[in-house]
Chain A
Amino acid sequence: MSAPRIAVLVFPGTNSEDETVRLLRACGGDAHLVHWSRADTLAAYDAYVLPGGFAYEDRIRAGAIAAHDRMVDDVITGCERGKLILGICNGAQVLLEAGLVPGTGPARRPTAAFTHNAPQAHYLCAHVYVKLVIEPHRSPITAELPPGAVVPAYAAHGEGRLAADPAHLREIADGGHVAFVYVDADGTPVRAPNGSALDAAALVNREGNVLAIMPHPERDAWNYQHLDRGGRTDPLACSGGAALFASFVAAVARS
């Protein structure tokens, strides 16, 4: 049996595919870009990663058109079969629009969204830390992280604020769907820089096989990306945000 293969989905407008596939490979994953015109090949993959960008120019709403793309048909089927799925930034928005996360409603009937930042609605690029607030084994994707792991990342989005109606928000909070919250470097909780409800940076579905994270761990995942935080000795080695990718790849290998 061959090693499990990870597909990194490329929609028109996706822009973070190269660094995502590069880090997955550095973490030992057999990762491949799958382009929208090759959607027919997607079903054969064992896990899916939806990277950042502006899929279909975020027409109608962030992630809305991509959520109805032919490629996401296979992602939804894969989710039902327990395949592991990771969405980052725009990929996270797509997973919420596709209803896979928090997964409290039917597919493609979203019950929450990552939407316009507040109180300032503009795009924000800022270094952040996020902290794992679920028990690591709650999701296979986070299983290799230590409890309460603090992961560095970059927020780089105009629409990263979790929003839902009060009933769904309660369901998200009570159902343990908030996987990561924004913290400072020491792990102390801070208000989300984008006004996100529950200060949530990432959500997980009930089954734990789908994780949607707004900030980009892959942009603070190599030593050269944080030279002054101990990155000088081996600038090309992985560290920081790579831990989440390594945990994902390990989970795929187990699956």
Chain B
Amino acid sequence: MSEVKDGEPALANGPRASANGQRHGQDPVLVVSGLTVLVRGEDGPRAVVEDLSFSLSRGETLAIAGESGSGKSMTSLAIMGLLPKPGARIGGGSIRLGDRDIAGLSEGRMKAVRGRRIAMIFQEPMTSLNPVLSIGRQLTEAILAHEAIGRSEARRRAIAALRAVRIPDAEGRLKQYPHELSGGMRQRVMIAMAIALKPDVLIADEPTTALDVTVQGEVLELLRDLQRDLGTAVILITHDMGVVAEMADRVVVMKEGRAVETGEVGQLFDAPQADYTRDLLAAVPRIGEGRGRMETRALESRAAPPLVQINDLCVRFPIRSGFLSRVRANVHAVEGVSFEIAAGETLSLVGESGCGKSTTAKALAGLVDYSGDIILEGTNMAGRTSEERKAQRRKVQMIFQDPFASLDPRMTVGDLVAEPMVIHGTARREERWARVAGLFDRVGLSADQMARYPHEFSGGQRQRICIARALALRPRLIIADESVSALDVSVQARVLGLLRELQAEFGIAYLFISHDMAVVENVSDRIAVMYLGQIVEMGTRDQIFGDPQHPYTKRLIAAVPRPDPHARRRAFERAASEIPSPVRMIGDPPNRLELHDLGDGHLVASRA
């Protein structure tokens, strides 16, 4: 059973290994048995968690994995007694913490358990802290709520907790407000708040899903170190099998409210028993495995003019201040970016939040003002009349990240797909409907669903509708901005498959924007890595993943959790500092990076 950690020296992992050894010891910290959570539905109560049982020992990490709607978050809320009221309630079973059943505890009694015995961190660090209270206040109040100590003692403990989560200048942070911290820093504050009272159980609900991949690596490592030092038992709720492989001792795989499989992490990944687990693992995109991976197409058409050529693209957002609102500084969102996309090619833009990848896409789609040249099929968009630009832009369509927010809820999906044709006047009414029906059919929906409204569809279906809408004008280039990031892996795999088929069929080029390196590795012909508004490395998929040159590219690739428990990283290389600000005063432009060709079009920025 300790094979789980082979490849890691036992000594380095001493306390944890021994905790694992006692995994099935006499006194588990938390025992959940037969838990059922009911949610009020239109036709009576519906079970979102059904007959779920598991136990958790000291120092152990149990991952609850599953796709959206599997009931994993409901389970964690049930344990915390935080089920949304009214509507959801515990319908049966017990949750034993030590020798007490906390399933039916009153709000008043539960209050003493929350934070003190069981703490929780949530997915959204950006919204999980109160914006109007200082970090110090939010930390100390958590401590003071449970311990009869003075303010100065609480403050001292708060600082110690911030140090424990490796926040630089812990004392200075107490005075700061959440909006002054980055997402990664906020999640650290959340963790500090959760561990300040050394709880027995820490529930981490998708703790790194909203974070950039390099930050995710650091936060996961932090959780692991803290657990080792404090012996806390951790319930890790996640949809990401990479994170499961990286973190968990044991895994519960949930589907539709039921546990379909429970087991040691090594066994589960090596020899999954349930069909669902097998499917889930198969759908996970992996770097360099070749599964579902396309051949990099030889770009024989290099000689032909590229579909899109972007030269020295700059996008700046002015910051105004003073009596007359003069521009004092600029946000240099995109700074001198140049690249080409050939017809039928997939170019991926990768990088972390704020690196300018989405802004580049918006400039290309004509949604923000820019300087530099965007040449679409030989026509420079700059210096054209708006009519000419509109005609050109028909060739460029976008698919956005959130399939729920990008469809107008008051329009039927048929109208939504037909709308681009109406706007551009490209088809008559009868023709339009025939085309929409054809598009629906093409993206895997049936034409008789055209009269329905967006809310009647699932996330994956909605993304198909968005794809159909993008296809309506027969574009040459589709910009897919994090288009599969919000989807479950199994749905994601199918949508990526559809995008691939469409490319083969219509010769569409994609500008694929993603933070998920594994997905990027699976879909791209070429990749451009962006950092702070500039491209630091660009090349074919094999050049970037096989032979990354720039340190930032290496960091990005190394940060991706591998869905393989036998290949755990020992320690993740920590960033020396946070990514610097892209805000520059007037007259102080950022250094332009120069790209050097290492051969075969593999461009790398020289180190400044």
Asked if A and B bind, the verdict is no
